[in-house]
Every structure is written in C-alpha cells, then in structure tokens.
Amino acid sequence: MKKINYYLGALALASLSLGACSSDKLAGEEPNGPDTKTERTVYVNIAVHGDAAGSRASASNGNPEDNATDFGDPVGNEGKVNSCYLVFYDGTGNVVGEIAQVNGSFESVAVGNGTVESRLQKVVPVTLQAGQENPTQVMCYINPANPSDLQNPLATVQTITRDAVTIPGTDGNLFPMSNSVYYDATNGLKMAVKIPAESVFTTQEAAQAALTATNPTNIIDIYVERYAAKLTMQGIATPTEYITATTSDAALGAATEVEVELNFTVDGWALNGEAKNTFAVKSFREASTDGQILPNNYTFTGLNAEINPNGGDWTWNNANFHRSYWACSPVYFQAEYPEVLSDYDPTVMNQTFLSYNDVINGKGFKADDTAPHYFKETTVGTHGLQSANPNAAVASVIIVGHYSVTVNGTPTPEPTFYTYVRGTNGNPTVYFEGTGNDAASTVAGGLSMQKRFLWQTTVLYKNTAAEGAAPNYVRMSAGVLDDLHAMVGATRIERPTDAVLGETKMASRALTLQLTGDNLTGIFINDNGTPKQIVADNTENFDEATQVKLTRANQILWQNVGSCNKYEAGAGFFNIPVKHLGYYRQSNNTTAATNAATIEVADASVGDFGMVRNHSYQINVTKIEGLAEGIGDKANPIIPPADTKDVYMAYRINVLRWAIVPVQNVEL
C-alpha cells in the first residue's frame, strides 16, 4: 500500500471511525481553530506513502512479516502515480475546501518497515470558504477514475463503489489507490487521517520550513493501497489421460465394459464469481445475519470474533505496517448465493459467473497466459460460508477445456458424452449421443445414453391383451426391438421442466430421460404399482384411477432412472477456490500445514478464501488427473457445484507489498 504525507503546512493523515453520523463531532476532532467569516487558505505538509507491491501470506502461518517473501514490489505501472487528489474534512466528516490536486513525483524510500515502497512529500494549500472550519481529516485518492465525485461525506465513503480496478493511461493501465484502512493499536478503525491543529499553517513559508527542517515535524502521513487484487497463473500442467469405461452395445444382459480414455485439452482459465464492483475505500461495514450491509463498522473485537472463532490465531490486522489483510467486499453483503444455474440472476446478484464461451472469447485467458491479471476485491463472511453453496460464494479460478475420447483404440475429437453410474474401476461410466430409432451410439464401440437409460427403466409398460379383453400389462424392455423403437420415439434426454423439478434444484449439466408427449400411444407408466395411461397435463375429464398426467409421469421416470452429467462437445471445467492468508493459520491444523487433497469450503473460517485488494495471488496447477465437471451448455454461466468436494486437490496460494499470499500449488 502506498503511504502519502501531505502538508497543510505539514499534513499527517488521520484515521476516522465511520461509526459516527455526519451530524456529530467525532471524539478528539473539534475544529482546528475558530471559523472565519471570509474565504481563506491554510497549508498542510503531506507525506503520501505507497506500499510495496502488495502483501502475501507467509507460507507457515498466514501472518506476513517484513521481508521479501511476504511483500513484493510493483511491476510496470502497478506503482505509477499519474494523479493525486486530497479531500479534506471537518470534525463532523463533511468536506471542507476544494479538492486538492497534488503534483510531484514519488521517491523510493525505506522508512519504518519494508512494506513501504515510495513517498511523496508536499506542502498543500487548502482553500476554505467562509464559515468552514479548518480541516481535521484527509483522504487521498491516486489515479481516480472520476476525481469530481470524490467529495462525499465520510459517513458514506465506505459504501461508494467502482466498476473497475484499473483505468486507461497513456502508456498502459493505471491503478487507482486510496487510504489504507486498518485498526490501530487501540483497536480503533483508521481510514481518514487526522490533522492535528498544530499541523495547519497560515502561511506557505511556515509550512515549507517545517517540511524541510532537519528533523521535520507536523507532517501528515497518509498510507494508500491499490483497489486491485493481483492474480497470476504460474502454469497449468499437461493433463493426464483419464481411464474409465463405456458399455458395449450388445444384447441386454450380455454387454461388457469397454475401456475409454479421456484426454483433456485446456482451452483457457478465468476468475469466476468475481464481485461486479469494488468499494472505492476498503470497507469494514458490519453485515447482518442475512448478509445485508449495516450502517456501522465492525469493531475490531466483533470482526476478530468472526475471523478467529474458537481461539484462531490469524493476525489479519497490523497497525505497525499500517494495513490489514482482510476486507468486506460488496459480495459480503449478498443475501443469497446460487446453488445451481436457475438460482443465478445477474441483475440482482453482485457476482459474475462466466460461461465456457465467455472464457474462450475474451473474458478469460489462454492456457499458457502467465502474465499477472487484476481483479476486484471479492470476500465473503460467515453468511456466505454457511450458505447452501459456499463454493459459489467464494472467488474461484475455473479452468475450462474439452475432452477427446478414445474407445477401443479409436479417438474421437470433442464428442458430446455423458457420465452415469460408476464402473468397476470406480470412475463414472461414459455414454454417448444416440441416433436413429434404435438410439445407436454416435461413437463406435460405445453405448448411447438414451439406450442406457432405457435399459435402466422399470416403469414403462405395454398392454398385450387383445382388444376388448382385460388389460395385461407387461414391462417394456430395451432388449425387445419393437419396445426399444417405441420407447426411443417417446423419450429424449433433457432437463426436466420446472413443473417436474418442483422444489428440487438441479445443476444445468444434469439431464435425465423424459417423455416428450408424442408417440405415447400404447405406453403406460407404473404409478405406485398401477400402470396408467399417460395423458396431457390439460386433459379434461381426467380419470386418476387409470390415467397419469405427463408432468407426473416424467417425475416418475426421472426418479426411476436418475440423472446423468452432460459434456457438450466434450467440454468440462475444474474449479479452484482462491485461498487467502487465513487458510494458512496454524489453528487450521493440518489443513493449513499441508496441501490438503480435499478442500472443504463449508468448513472454512472467514479469511480462508477470497481476494483482498493490494494482495498478490499465484496459482500453479502441478497436476490434472481427475475428471472435470461437465458443461452441459457452453453458453450457460458456470456455477460451482455445491455437492462437489474432491475436484480441487492439493494447492497453495501466495498472496503478494502487494501483500503476497503463498503460491497455491494445485493438483486436479
């Protein structure tokens, strides 16, 4: 984070607790001198300090220390200051004077500790209107997108959002920054920097003399940090072939397992579940039990109780370093997190979930892209971790790609396939698209998913009695050619309608066997032990004793055969929740000390996962040997499944002056 010292004479930034409302004086922040009745100019000395590149998590305990391992320097434009603005406030938190643009260059400096990378020192004039008090607090904004809208009362500063964490510059993107927000040694929230009365000068000469003295005094120290979180994909290992099986298309009861080799090609990667916007100033606003933002800030004790329950030992705040390693992003205050695609309403939710098509068409990055990329702060609290789908609540890296399939030594590139039940080696069995009235597999040597479902079903019947005779219902069999043709013509593999699903939530990749409503003559379904005629939902004169409506029939069929997972054109994805510094706390025991093979996000503590501004994260995928999750439709946003616990194996993250989080080595 960057530290900024400015002089109103000599200006040192003061921190502000936002718990006060704008109409009340803050304790210890009475006006610096009497109001005057005419416009006047006062001077302060400001020193703005920029942190080193960012912080990263210490590999041993998640608590960054003052060294090159835990903090990293900026690269390129990451530390470039194109513009610097100061906004001054009176003791009530209202803006006084005009916004001040500060010109000058930052100098490299080693002060205090290694977390500070550069400093700008200036005498800053503040023009006050008649009736305005002397400034007692100041906020600093570097490279702001819209300088004109920065003059907001302090009571609302932590709720103002921005849609981007970089802005275009003349020679590349620039990085907006604002005051570092943390809790001081007395556990008070530090945001706006206080300006003592003795640091306000009435002449520029007096301010300059204080600034250039052998032992300068009355300098306002401001520390700033970037909005952005930095993420680097260090590498993605070549996937190992995945060995599973299909079933031969032999006579029913005589089929055997046939080995299938799946080879995954990585097509790209992206950050999924990222917040749509970010707060212009790091926020520690309280969240209600249902995730709503509250008007007051967390006390240090209150927030620490959430972050370190049951004696946890993560040091997420460091007053000596003028920084904190956690924050409450807009996603913190989201009421619900999607369990499945049908839950995701992008007009309401504050997260962005990408589709396969998004990733490969400009919203993601190529598989070999190892350059750093920058994202919005995305964190969640207890509400998100205890939601129905904590995997969707946290920011995750998704790796998307496609499979080629080899059956009996013959490769087929990018076929659509399905997984259903497990074979003798414990891996999901693969089935393919069907064609024709016998649902023949489109991949030679395999079995179609539709025929496999028809082998499975036990609820479809036919009446073999002569016309006028008492019904004689016989279960239909895919091993009987006429039955097979009739069932193929009456069914298809698809997602159940909302009416069929009812309250059940079903992933978009999950499909089942459903009756189409066509070609149902002569087909009956077993409804609680009684074969019944299948009729349209809007049938008049419905006879419940002998008939069943189509929606109910499809519920029966779905319950009978279960669901399969679709891989459209072989497409699949791996999901990697981004670990934060808290994951490595020693109180997490073996989870923190090792690269655990299974990451249980639902068991995580606040601070274990997320992306915090001015932190640098690195992910290194060292192995891919598991089976990707299926992508049923490449255009659908990818929602990490709530029921998946074993697809993101052994990995570490390094968060980087940039605070650096440990490298996240991943085996998938």
Q: What is the full DSSP assignment across 453-521?
A: HHHH---EEEE-SPTTSPP-EEE--TTSHHHHHHHHHHEEEEPPPHHHHTT----TTEEEEEE-SSS-T
Residue whose tokens read 């945001």: 191
Predicted local confidence at residue 60, as pLDDT: 55
**Coil, strand, or helix at residue 121?**
strand
By the 10 Å C-beta count (0-12 exposed, 13-18 middle, 19+ buried), 244 is classed as buried
Token pair of 479, please? 């091993």
Q: How far apart, in whole angstroms, are the C-alpha atoms of residue 421 and residue 455? A: 13
Predicted local confidence at residue 218, as pLDDT: 83
Predicted local confidence at residue 17, as pLDDT: 22
Three-class HEC string of 383-415 = HHHCCCCHHHHCCEEEEEEEEEEEECCEEEECC
Cα-only R_g, the chain: 31
* Neighbour-count burial for 399-438, b at 16+ CB within 10 Å, e otherwise: bbbbbbbbbeeeebeebbbbbbeebeeebbbbbbbbeeee
Q: How far apart, in whole angstroms, are the C-alpha atoms of residue 582 and residue 594? A: 14
For 601, list phi and psi in degrees, rounded to 5. Answer: -60, -35
Predicted local confidence at residue 186, as pLDDT: 96
Q: How far apart, in whole angstroms, are the C-alpha atoms of residue 597 and residue 192? A: 43
Distances (CA, A) of 128 to 10, 45, 156: 17, 16, 22
Predicted local confidence at residue 148, as pLDDT: 76
What single-letter DSSP state applies at residue 132?
Answer: P
Strands 615-623 and 659-660: parallel
Q: How far apart, in whole angstroms, are the C-alpha atoms of residue 6 and residue 602? A: 45
What are the beta bridge partners of residue 266? 401
**Coil, strand, or helix at residue 23?**
coil
Predicted local confidence at residue 68, as pLDDT: 65
Predicted local confidence at residue 639, as pLDDT: 94
C-alpha dihedral over 289, 291, 296, 298, to 10 degrees?
70
Q: Spell out, as residue ranges, where the chain has pLDDT lower than 50.
A: 1-31, 34, 52-53, 56-59, 590, 592-594, 596-597, 644-656
Q: How far apart, in whole angstroms, are the C-alpha atoms of residue 384 and residue 642? A: 12
* Neighbour-count burial for 635-648, b at 16+ CB within 10 Å, e otherwise: ebbbbbbbeeeebb
**Other residues' Cβ atoms within 10 Å of the Cβ of residue 593:** 13
Single out the residue of 656, 618, 617 nearest to residue 54, CA to CA: 656
Q: How far apart, in whole angstroms, are the C-alpha atoms of residue 313 and residue 251? A: 63
Predicted local confidence at residue 110, as pLDDT: 54
Predicted local confidence at residue 642, as pLDDT: 74
How many residues are given for the chain?
Answer: 668
Distances (CA, A) of 501 to 28, 333, 559, 632: 61, 30, 11, 17
Q: Residue ranges per domain, the chain? A: 2-227, 438-563
Q: How far apart, in whole angstroms, are the C-alpha atoms of residue 429 and residue 36? A: 82
Determine the distance from the C-alpha atom of residue 494 to the mean position of all C-alpha atoms in its chain, rounded to a whole number: 29
Cβ–Cβ < 8 Å for 605, 309 = yes
Predicted local confidence at residue 51, as pLDDT: 55
Residue whose tokens read 């600093």: 140
Predicted local confidence at residue 652, as pLDDT: 29
Q: What is the full DSSP assignment across 204-267?
A: HHHHHHHHHSSS--SEEEEEEEES-EEEEEEEEPPPPPEEEEEE---STTT--EEEEEEEEEEE
Predicted local confidence at residue 104, as pLDDT: 67
Q: How far apart, in whole angstroms, are the C-alpha atoms of residue 61 and residue 512? A: 47
Cβ–Cβ < 8 Å for 611, 395 = yes
